[in-house]
Structure 1
Amino acid sequence: MEAKKSLFDNLQNFFGFDNFKGEQEEIITNILAGNDTFVIMPTGGGKSMCYQLPALMSEGTAIVISPLIALMKNQVDQLRAFGGTDSIAHFLNSSLTKADAARVKEDVLAGKTKLLYVAPESLTKQENVEFLRLNKVSFVAVDEAHCISEWGHDFRPEYRKIRQVISNIGENIPIIALTATATPKVQHDIQKNLQMNNATVFKSSFNRSNLFYEVRAKRNVLKEIIKFVKHNQGKSGIIYCLSRKKVEEVAEALSLNGVKALPYHAGLDAKVRADTQDKFLMEDVDVIVATIAFGMGIDKPDVRYVIHHDMPKSMEGYYQETGRAGRDGGEGVCVAFYSEKDIDKLQKFMKDKPVSEREIGTQILKEVIDYAESSACRRKQILHYFGEDFNDTTCNRMCDNCATERQYFDAEEHLHRALTLIKGLGEKFDDHHILCVLMGTDDPQVHFYEHHLIKEFGSGKEQGEDLWKSLLRQAMLDNYLSKDIDQYGLLHITEKGNEFIDNPHSIRLIMNKPIEASDDEDAEDGKGATGALDTQLLQMLKDQRKKLAKAKGLPPFVIFQDPSLEEMCTHYPITLDELKQISGVGAGKAAKFGAPFIELIKKYVEENDIDRPVDMVIKSAANKSALKVYIIQNIDRHLDLEDIASSKGLSYEDILREVESIVNSGTKLNLNYYINEVIDEDKQDEVFDYFKTAEDDSIESAMCELGEEDYTREEVQLMRVKFMSELGN
């Protein structure tokens, strides 16, 4: 009783909490009793408290092994804030200077430090092992313990050496291993490697009921992300990308669109990463864009959304990364963009690895594909992966699949056929092989085993591949089948499956709606019409253009061309910034002619209660801009257009098109140096005067009027550029 009171007093005095969360009290009591302890608890469940409090209550220093420098710094700062003294917690890793490291060791030796955070790489250094031997170590906490297992999502070879190092530091040091993501296979691997098979295991439910899970087809992904973030303005979010290059690109696009976003990946300087993390925690930055490979390790409770620009390579990675949303129990939206191209990229990454590692990686990746492509409850799939059964009726429409209307099919006969086939083939094949047999696919492995000769070959062709894929996935989710990922994903019939074979009964399963990602997944610049044309507004804009043209003594096409007006009728820009994003407008024209147009559109939107598409405000740092900048710079240097074209491997026609595009978007170009060389003055005046009174800017009309035998198309085109540049910009 006294010990229990002391536990609660320490919880209250140090952390300011009145009650423990979940199994924290039992876990801490077990550690204080000197027992090995294995904690499997989802992100946000309060894992760090499980070793922080017993460390503060124990004699000596607790060593916390963590792979994330970011997380170490974050936790040390929090402990110092609670404890009121800097020496209470320290970290020892590669980010410290020699002087800093010496100061840390001094505090530890003086008995002032209760928790010492160490990176696995630092722990294995002989000098650190010798130093730690000089101290009383209360226990060792291995955080992110899934890193030990090659079946985990973040395998680190240094973690495999931890047991050996602990034995070198001292005898009978209790170990607490903690992870937020461990399948039964990974759990076994961790215990075996740390030689803690007799540890007390505490496993919490992996269900995060406040998180909404959604998978979207990868179309115009950058545009979709910016729309989502703008809809959630002011909320904290994390966006994960597969590559550093994509991280930089997404962060830049968000910044361009007025979002406070910063990139975060291993290629950045350690100080920059630390500053970025602090800005996120202090809410100077709303969005962090990070690589999947580089764990964030940021203990921020109010992250409101996590977006995966690319699917991660494992369900553990996905679960842990999505788990950073809504840790305070509040809103947490998890959106992942899926395309087969991403999966192809991940498979290419594995191609150079040893065969066994490649097999493991392939099985782990297959689970991600099944999750993304399935129409079953997302939550049920996640929890099943971690060895937990879940009744999808309690999902409460908290995933995209449960929130939408689904089509079911009577699966009794089909399930019986599939299970009987698997059993008949000796439970020695994976789902791909079974699918090939049922569909009658001409597959080399099917032929090798002569399964193209059995009566079941092609028997399921009529039902279609989607039905069988869906059936096999749900048969696993509902425990009629199990998958042996150790053995290349072979399917085995469970006890429940065998009962069904003997006594089939009526069963309804969900028909799969495959996710179809567009091939054009990187068509991200967000321009071009995206909705039906508003003809009423178009007429009003044309009238406005006519009015302005008359007042300025210009032809209407000089102000805005028809395609620009049409785009305004689908996007409804109501600020100059938004107007600049319309094709053929740009900053120059927006400033010169834009005000009456956005005023008109704003009034029209309000009067007609129009729900504007947010895509409008999306600005992109288009890759094409580099060529435009190059052309402008070289025209300023008075280079001939032919020379500019050949230096970029372009034709003269291509360069003219680019020059027109630059001018039509509102940038003034002085081409007189070139035009004076190729067109005589009288001709120039004649074409210029023609365009002043022309109905439209058509080159065909101009040549017809001016006489095709007197002018070449290029001459008229060049003069149109001069005319638009001088009068329109």
Structure 2
Amino acid sequence: MQTQKMTSTAALEILQTIYGFDEFRGQQQAIVDTVIAGGDALVLMPTGGGKSLCYQIPALARPGTGIIISPLIALMQDQVDALKALDLNAAFINSSMDAQSVAQTENALLAGEIDMLYVAPERLLMPQMLSLIDRCQIALFAIDEAHCVSQWGHDFRREYLGLSILSERYPDVPRIALTATADERSRQEIAGNLQLTEAASFVSSFDRPNIRYAIGEPDNAREAMLQFLDTHHEGDAGIVYCLSRKKVEQTAEWLNKQGRTALAYHAGLSAEERQHNQTRFLREDGLIVVATIAFGMGIDKPDVRFVVHLNLPKSVEAYYQETGRAGRDGLPSNAWMAYGLQDVINLRSMMAQSDADEQHKRLENHKLETMLGLAELTTCRRQALLSYFGDTLEEPCGNCDNCLHPPHTWDATESARKALSCVYRTGQRFGVSYVVDVLLGKDSERIQRFGHERLSTYGIGKEHSALEWRNLFRQLIARGLLAVDVDGHGSVMLTEAARPVLKGIETLHLRELTVATGKRQGSAGRRKRAMAEIAEHDQPLWNALRGLRKQLSDVAGVPAYIVFNDSTLADMIAIKPRDRTEMASVSGVGQHKLEQYGDEFLEVIREHA
């Protein structure tokens, strides 16, 4: 492609002939035009919104090589493979390469033979790398996952701060910074730290309408997750997030015992094992990765059909970015979360004991409070989620759990007064489990040791089960009527906000507890997978196309989606092209892929006509 550099007027032609898309989406055209013309851009666009095209097309249209700064070297290979599948000259330089390979890539860069080069920020900032770039013609710098530069964000990477050197050292080279998640404060810091305060700003809608959000508090989160997977995602690929490494290991092992293929991923594993598991996830169908938040940034796998959280995330930004790894291809996907009282206690305790300064602790607590608010919400979750990022949705979405199954609320004032009073009378130095035992009138040695069987609140809560009381306490903590002590023992204490409820001045309405049965549905009761929009009579063709794709990707040694993603196969089924001309109209079939794969897929389609 290097010998065929084009002007900005050819951007649409690049989109159509190389990438196989008829037209730009949303703000893509304006972003591409800005960068091709030499302007800087700050781009906020949801995962799956087409961010990569915003720098790849200008890199092809402008003279020189596009330098893409990516935070994870583990993903560069797949990003480069995807570009090579389009017959583009892409490469990376990172620490996984031997000296000879690095030298060959550097020589190709100096010769102007590379369209796009991927580097990590640490590598880019090395003096020898900057010296190499000084001797090259550079089309642009693209700073991916730009929220990493913000200390107010959720994935801060200190090395990103050094990228401000680009504006000083290469003032005539356009820069484009891209991220899927950043609130207003983080956006300002990104612009400031990268010296992009004068850059054109493009903020797309944060809405991902293909993702269905659901948040609950089941009694047995694992069993509820398995029921969810059996019902909606038999054989689908997905990600399960857990807060601790231990829980990651245990959950992966448990899923494997249930007949699922699950791989663990966390920072405690060796680099080789993490790389192996990530590669399997990207290249095999139907795998589940159970991970801490160390997994996922920059994951390009488009057919992740579900993201599960078995613990409460620390912030709305983290939740949005992690759930956004589902359904990048635009097809129906699920974001399902189970959380409980212990999550709230653990996260608050971790924040209180961190080494951060008080300003950061206040910020982190505010972010957690907002995440709790989203979890306990009784109205449309999507409206609240978008509102957090300054986006609006006029009507309820109709595609979240609260819209589909509006939660019931109840007047919890009297029960809350009992709970708060019991916390007060036991001295505000015990955890929730102990207070619940007092409310239920348990005959335990510990209660007798403290003499709490003589309290007026002893046994006054027998109208609720222990599970219902824990649900009530969780909501009282979420609403700020109770605080969790920072001593690490999880004792609960009254806050000033509890006073009006205790004194009967305010009433309190909370969402009812819905207890999952924990029973798994048999095969006959399972819903079809997320590809239910493929008609029943087209299922054999769908399976045949996926089978061919798997064969071709295995031969090429690349993930299946690099051949064609699910949405392209679905478009083939909708159009059922009869020849190359009609195949060229399928979304995602560019000129090179048409020549490389078109005839084989046409043959399969004809066989099922």
- Structure-2 change in CA distance of 1:259 and 1:242 (3 Å): same
Task: Give the 4+ runs in structure 1 shifted more than 4 A.
Answer: 2-5, 406-410, 431-437, 442-446, 514-518, 570-574
Asked if the contact 2:235/2:286 (under 8 Å) is kept, the reply is: no
Give the Cα–Cα distance (whole angstroms) in 2 for the partners of residues 516 and 408 of structure 1. Answer: 11
Match of 2:45 in 1: 41
Asked if the contact 1:251/1:261 (under 8 Å) is kept, the reply is: yes
Deviations 1:169-195 (A, max 9, x none): 433322111110111111111111111
Aligned equivalent of 1:370, options 367, 373, 385: 373
Determine if the alignment matches structure 1 residue 57 to structure 2 residue 57: no
Asked if the contact 1:242/1:293 (under 8 Å) is kept, the reply is: no
Structure 1, unaligned runs of 5 or more = 411-430, 468-511, 519-529, 532-569, 575-609, 613-729
Match of 2:362 in 1: 359
Determine if the alignment matches structure 1 residue 346 to structure 2 residue 350: no
Task: Give how far 1:514 is off.
Answer: 6.0
- Structure-2 change in CA distance of 1:188 and 1:161 (3 Å): same
Deviations 1:384-416 (A, max 9, x none): 1101122243x12x1111122355899xxxxxx
Asked if the contact 2:12/2:23 (under 8 Å) is kept, the reply is: yes
Letter in 1 for 2:500: G
- Structure-2 change in CA distance of 1:324 and 1:365 (3 Å): same
Give the Cα–Cα distance (whole angstroms) in 1 for the partners of residues 156 and 11 of structure 2. Answer: 35
Letter in 1 for 2:375: A
Give the Cα–Cα distance (whole angstroms) in 1 for the partners of residues 479 and 300 of structure 2. Answer: 44
How many pairs align? 446
Determine if the alignment matches structure 1 residue 100 to structure 2 residue 101: yes
Task: Give how far 1:443 is off.
Answer: 8.6
Provide the TM-score with structure 1 as the length reference.
0.56
Determine if the alignment matches structure 1 residue 458 to structure 2 residue 503: no
Give the Cα–Cα distance (whole angstroms) in 1 for the partners of residues 480 and 280 of structure 2. Answer: 50
Give the Cα–Cα distance (whole angstroms) in 2 for the partners of residues 122 and 572 of structure 1. Answer: 51
Asked if the contact 1:338/1:517 (under 8 Å) is kept, the reply is: no
Task: Give how far 1:97 is off.
Answer: 2.8
Give the Cα–Cα distance (whole angstroms) in 1 for the partners of residues 308 and 481 of structure 2. Answer: 34
Match of 2:161 in 1: 160
Task: Give how far 1:116 is off.
Answer: 1.5
Asked if the contact 1:42/1:180 (under 8 Å) is kept, the reply is: yes
Matches within 5 A, 1:234-245: 234-245=235-246
Match of 1:117 in 2: 118
Give the Cα–Cα distance (whole angstroms) in 2 for the partners of residues 155 and 407 of structure 1. Answer: 39
Match of 1:383 in 2: 386
- Structure-2 change in CA distance of 1:459 and 1:255 (3 Å): closer
Letter in 1 for 2:373: D
Matches within 5 A, 1:460-539: 462=504, 466-467=508-509, 512-513=510-511
Give the Cα–Cα distance (whole angstroms) in 2 for the partners of residues 206 and 300 of structure 1. Answer: 20
RMSD of the alignment, in Å?
A: 3.4
Task: Give how far 1:112 is off.
Answer: 1.1
Match of 1:197 in 2: 197
Aligned equivalent of 1:7, options 8, 11, 14: 11
SS of corresponding position for 2:58? helix
Asked if the contact 1:74/1:298 (under 8 Å) is kept, the reply is: no
- Structure-2 change in CA distance of 1:355 and 1:93 (3 Å): farther
Asked if the contact 1:151/1:185 (under 8 Å) is kept, the reply is: yes
Provide the TM-score with structure 2 as the length reference.
0.67
Matches within 5 A, 1:412-427: none
Matches within 5 A, 1:285-304: 285-304=286-305
SS of corresponding position for 1:275? helix
Task: Give how far 1:280 is off.
Answer: 2.5
Determine if the alignment matches structure 1 residue 23 to structure 2 residue 27: yes
Task: Give how far 1:197 is off.
Answer: 1.4
Identity of aligned residues (%): 42
Asked if the contact 1:340/1:517 (under 8 Å) is kept, the reply is: no
Letter in 2 for 1:384: S
- Structure-2 change in CA distance of 1:27 and 1:205 (3 Å): same
SS of corresponding position for 1:212? strand
Letter in 1 for 2:10: S
Give the Cα–Cα distance (whole angstroms) in 2 for the partners of residues 115 and 47 of structure 1. Answer: 15
Match of 1:603 in 2: none
Asked if the contact 1:15/1:82 (under 8 Å) is kept, the reply is: yes
Letter in 1 for 2:385: I
Give the Cα–Cα distance (whole angstroms) in 1 for the partners of residues 180 and 495 of structure 2. Answer: 38
Match of 1:597 in 2: none
Match of 1:560 in 2: none
Give the Cα–Cα distance (whole angstroms) in 2 for the partners of residues 248 and 121 of structure 1. Answer: 31
SS of corresponding position for 1:238? strand
Give the Cα–Cα distance (whole angstroms) in 1 for the partners of residues 127 and 349 of structure 2. Answer: 37
Matches within 5 A, 1:641-660: none
SS of corresponding position for 2:86? helix
Determine if the alignment matches structure 1 residue 247 to structure 2 residue 245: no
